[in-house]
Structure 1
Amino acid sequence: MGTAALLAVTSPPCFLSSAKSRRLISTTLLPLLPSSCLTHGKDESRITKVRSNVNSVSTETKSDNEASMTGAAYDFKGATISLTGEILSSPKKVTIVRHGLSSWNEESRVQGSSNLSVLTEKGVKQAERCRDALINMNFDVCFSSPISRAKSTAEVIWCGREKPLCYLNSLEEAHLFFLEGMKNADAKKQYPELYTTWREDPSNFHVNGIYPIRELWGTAREAWKEILLTPGESFLVVTHKSILRALICTALGLGPERFRAIDVNNGGICVFTFNKRGEAMLQALNMTAHMYSDHVYQY
């Protein structure tokens, strides 16, 4: 037949749920046969055999006490690491929002863990857009950093909901010592070597032997454990960019040297799902459609 084109059965893998098993319908590749071959007996036999294979269904059984699937993956053990070290009561979905524009964002100052940077008028509007975009989403708990700009964002988004709003110290931003509050341009002039390390090699940025970004990885793991071991299945998290980067990287098994490989805008939304082993699947990164339209999310 020579080199034959391949036709994929377009129906995606789907799952048939029963009390004791889930059945996975496999996607099968069919060879596209030239029309001239269709009259030959051997090729007709081959087509019949291929069609017969397409109709076959492979089944795999997974007991109820094993970790369940996450998202569209039946099982992805080893794709990421467990963030809990123990089996969860159910799979989880976690939506993470970066706080709205702050006064120090606007003034191009180094923020860090300072509580002096507050949500601007534009930041409040961004938080309102997040609230409206997530209006159809049901969350069991909202977790927020207690630092002002994140706390204010969470309060706007959570307004009108009756379920708990909890503040976690493990969601606070990285502590950047005496750089906090300085304009970036001034910090670069006064502390050129230190500032350059912070911008270009943040995992090796340190003050008096303390490495803030490396410590942030430990803080992020602590935050994940607190969140994922909370009863419920869907959580909202409101926090800051640096710790958000650490949350994403730790969930995906990336080290602090990957800190600047990820960026999230003010009001940007990220979504993770977790299987019962506490392993993560990143479903959405930095969604911002709601910042430019009246988009409402449903996932």
Structure 2
Amino acid sequence: MKNTRIVLLRHGQSVWNKENRFTGWANVSLSELGENEARNAGIKLKENGFNFNFCYTSMLDRAIKTSNLALEQLDSLWIPVEHDWQLNERHYGDLQGLNKAETAEEFGDEQVHIWRRSYDIEPPQVSEDSSFYPGNDRRYQELQHSQLPHGESLKDTYDRVIPFWNENIVPNVEQGSDILIAAHGNSLRALIKYLDNIPDDKITELEIPTGAPLVYEFNEQMKPVKSYYL
């Protein structure tokens, strides 16, 4: 029996990636480069013989657009796609929209590094009257108040991504489906931490390039046997 394959795809470069801003749950679009990265990801997947049965993505346009552009290259826009908030980027709280270099000038490089790269320290929390608070976005109107973040650490992101993986994605994989997951730097970092058993103090060093398909192959026991970028 062949190994089941899952592809993790970080969205292409966004407009705020290009402008070096904290993005989080802010719903920004792909840059022109980001759209090209997404198409090129689809071309690489086609060249390597991928045919997906199912796609998961976040609730954010940049990940949804990336999955659509990639799947279009595979003539697979028709496959089932599920959009889930648990795959959203880490919520950067009150830092969202701020330029990272300017934020470092204001708060100091060390403090910003702690906010960005510590595993379990949350950023400054966003207020509930802010446009960046998810409770003010109709995408999330079905969520309970306790599920709506005001600002997340990577650990917080891990704590929502991994239950979703185990409860929703794994059963689909166990049926033999090849699956595409189009998401974000930190939601994918959380999943990779789990799959590869990476320690808390090492995971924040992991960099995931935009628009580069990362393939995981699983055995029948749902253990990853190899991973590689296309």
Matching of residue 222 in structure 1 with residue 174 in structure 2: no
- In structure 2, the residue matched to 1:204 is 121
What runs of 5+ residues in structure 2 fail to find an aligned partner?
Answer: 126-149
- Name which of 93, 107, 124 aligns with 2:35: 124
- Name which of 25, 28, 31 aligns with 1:113: 25
The one-letter code matched in structure 2 to 1:110 is: F
8 Å CA contact 2:93–2:151 kept in 1: the answer is no
CA offsets 1:108-136 (integer angstroms, 9 cap, x no match) = 11111211x21011111111111111123
Q: Distance in 1 between matches of 2:90 and 2:42?
A: 26
Change (3 A) 1:200 1:240: closer
For 1:178-193, list aligned pairs within 5 A.
178-192=94-108
The one-letter code matched in structure 1 to 2:90 is: A
SS in structure 1 at match of 2:180: strand
Displacement of 1:260: 2.2
Q: How many residues align?
A: 197
Displacement of 1:277: 2.7
State the percentage of identical aligned residues.
Answer: 23
Q: Distance in 2 between matches of 1:186 and 1:217?
A: 28
Matching of residue 239 in structure 1 with residue 217 in structure 2: no
8 Å CA contact 1:203–1:257 kept in 2: the answer is no
Normalising by structure 1, report the TM-score.
0.60
For 1:28-67, list aligned pairs within 5 A.
none
- Name which of 137, 143, 154 aligns with 2:56: 143
8 Å CA contact 1:127–1:267 kept in 2: the answer is yes
Displacement of 1:242: 1.0
Change (3 A) 1:258 1:101: same
Moved over 6 A (4+): none
| Larger-gyration structure (1/2) | 1
- In structure 2, the residue matched to 1:49 is none
- Aligned-residue Cα RMSD (Å) equals 2.2
Q: Distance in 2 between matches of 1:281 and 1:228?
A: 15
Moved more, 149-158 or 212-221: 212-221
Matching of residue 154 in structure 1 with residue 67 in structure 2: yes
CA offsets 1:232-291 (integer angstroms, 9 cap, x no match) = 42111111111111111111122433232311111112111222333223421x44xxxx
- In structure 1, the residue matched to 2:212 is 268
CA offsets 1:57-88 (integer angstroms, 9 cap, x no match) = xxxxxxxxxxx8xx8xxxxxxxxxxxxxxxxx
The one-letter code matched in structure 1 to 2:20 is: S
8 Å CA contact 1:203–1:259 kept in 2: the answer is no
8 Å CA contact 2:94–2:151 kept in 1: the answer is no
8 Å CA contact 2:217–2:227 kept in 1: the answer is yes
Moved more, 247-256 or 176-185: 247-256
Q: Distance in 2 between matches of 1:251 and 1:268?
A: 18
What runs of 5+ residues in structure 1 fail to find an aligned partner?
Answer: 1-67, 72-90, 288-299
